[in-house]
Chain A
């Protein structure tokens, strides 16, 4: 296994991109990443594409060769592979790209993530994305993704005294960060009162506790760390990329306030990188729901189990925090195009570690963590990125 670096990044705006098609956004992000990496497409070994539900959302399966084709690369007959893992599809694709380069099979790969959620009505998109939960034993009985996360939220409140205000503070934080991100779906600030008084979705979660359904794409170019400086002055090393899985249905877990997959993926990642949670300067965590962010901060090891609510509400994870959490605005404000999320998290971290994040810059950041979750935690992917010396 050889070390792998991120050489280039690209991302479209996230949001309701009504004038742009799936193939357009997918290609835009990929081409940006290629240009950023100063890489000729002649050097590419393959493409990995994270996407959750194109078949249901745009009636198009077999999208990996489609994106390759419209990127102008089909004539070279490169391998192009789609990867699916619910909302963690993007980071799973990154994991596959990482393995491909680390193994030596390919030198350079593009990893993309793309989703087009607004070509169907909102309710349809919500139903389609709920298939990341167990259809037969959860959805058929009336469950939705927000309802399942609400079950975790209620249990967390019951066991640890987490409050409605503490949950709401996660959304307030996300929008404050997203206001500084030109690619964000939402750039408006939210007050605690606005979040708490918003219409209920699945109590205790309201409309503003839930990340939006967005269109968007993101891409990175990966290559061997050894020759990375031929492409960039600031190569970012993938210090670890770890995947862990759990039961598909929430009901089968021993603990409804811990994502076992996140705990294990994080532990493996920190072991691999020989680092600890306290070393992380900046983290992009999966805040699909406000409760998701609180569980993530506990399960990743940034705070004790049960302590994330007060810690978050006290501002510990804001600018200058330990770590600074979701400078991009997270899924809540930057947006939630399912298959693109995990790749976009890495795009943001690369910009942070390169020192190119402008208004959002976390000063002196040299170690970043990305945390991407599928469904209610059946898949978690933790990626550690560090600035190479």
Chain B
């Protein structure tokens, strides 16, 4: 994947920048140019405004992936979930820092900034959101694997500067 192709999505992938319909107030992530739910579909063109998601939500469904997507081979088994955010949009992402057996539908989670995957030794490293339990479960043994090298606060600040 070219650098630009990933880089242009950083405000969304790093910082959960979505959009809100100026007509019906429905929130979308990733941002939309037109509202899919307004009865007056055409009237919402150019009425969509930027909207920041909080990253809080809960697990709607999840799976434990054993046969990984490309670039995720070193992370198996990993939990992939549908997370409904408190603002409404549902996001697809990993749930980390928790044993798969402790993940359940209804688990409260919050978004965190992590390394997603690497394109081989010399390729682009992709960063973006994953989810962690909002409250640590009693049986949690702490984060698995090494701590990711980039701090979310730095990235957030950089993106805000760019935006």
Q: Interface residues, chain A, CB within 8 Å of chain B?
A: 123, 126-127, 130, 136-144, 146-148, 150-155, 158, 199-205, 247, 249-252, 256
Contacts and interface: CB of A to CB of B under 8 A. Distances in A.
A354 B72 CA distance: 48
28 contacts: A126-B67, A136-B30, A137-B30, A137-B91, A140-B13, A141-B93, A141-B94, A142-B93, A142-B117, A143-B69, A144-B65, A144-B69, A147-B63, A147-B69, A150-B63, A151-B61, A151-B82, A154-B105, A155-B60, A158-B61, A200-B64, A201-B66, A202-B63, A202-B64, A247-B36, A250-B92, A251-B89, A251-B91
Interface in B76-132: 77-78, 80-82, 89-94, 105, 116-117, 126, 128-130
B80 A202 contact: yes
B68 interface: yes
B154 interface: no
Contact of A154 (B30, B61, B116): B61
Given A155-B60, A201-B66, A251 B105 contact: no
A256 B64 contact: no
A150 B103 CA distance: 15
Nearest to B94: A142
Given A140-B128, A251-B82, A203 B94 contact: no
A155 B64 contact: no
Contacts of A203: 63-64, 66
Contacts of A199: 66
Main secondary structure of the interface of A (DSSP, over half): helix
A158 B58 CA distance: 15
B116 A151 contact: no
Contact of A202 (B65, B94, B130): B65
A224 to B, nearest CB: 38
B37 to A, nearest CB: 10
Given A140-B126, A141-B80, A251-B82, 14 more contacts: A126-B67, A137-B30, A137-B91, A139-B69, A140-B116, A141-B128, A141-B129, A144-B67, A147-B65, A155-B105, A200-B66, A203-B63, A256-B60, A256-B82
Nearest to A199: B66
A142 B92 CA distance: 9
A337 to B, nearest CB: 20
B14 interface: no
A252 B90 contact: yes
Given A126-B67, A251-B91, A142 B78 contact: yes
A148 B92 CA distance: 9
A142 B68 contact: yes
Contacts of B93: 141-142
Given A140-B116, A142-B72, A143-B92, A250 B82 contact: yes
A103 to B, nearest CB: 29
Interface string B121-163: 0000010111000000000000000000000000000000000
A138 B81 CA distance: 10
A144 B68 contact: yes
A248 B133 CA distance: 28
B158 to A, nearest CB: 20
Interface residues of B, number: 35
A138 B13 CA distance: 12
B116 to A, nearest CB: 7
B67 A202 contact: yes
Contacts of A150: 63, 65
Contact of A142 (B30, B36, B80): B80
Contacts of A126: 67
A123 B68 CA distance: 9
Contacts of B62: 151, 154
Interface centre among A142, A151, A204 (most CB of B within 10 A): A142
A141 B89 CA distance: 16
A138 B92 contact: yes
Contact of A155 (B13, B61, B77, B78): B61
Nearest to A158: B105
A140 B118 CA distance: 11
Contacts of B64: 200, 202-203
Contacts of A205: 63
Nearest to A122: B67
Nearest to A146: B67
B40 interface: no
B46 interface: no
The 7 closest A-B pairs by CB, nearest first: A150-B63, A155-B61, A203-B64, A251-B90, A151-B61, A201-B67, A202-B63
A359 B146 CA distance: 58
Contacts of B94: 141-142
Contacts of B81: 151
Contact of B69 (A142, A247, A252): A142
A127 B70 contact: yes
B95 to A, nearest CB: 10
A249 to B, nearest CB: 7
Contacts of A144: 65, 67-69
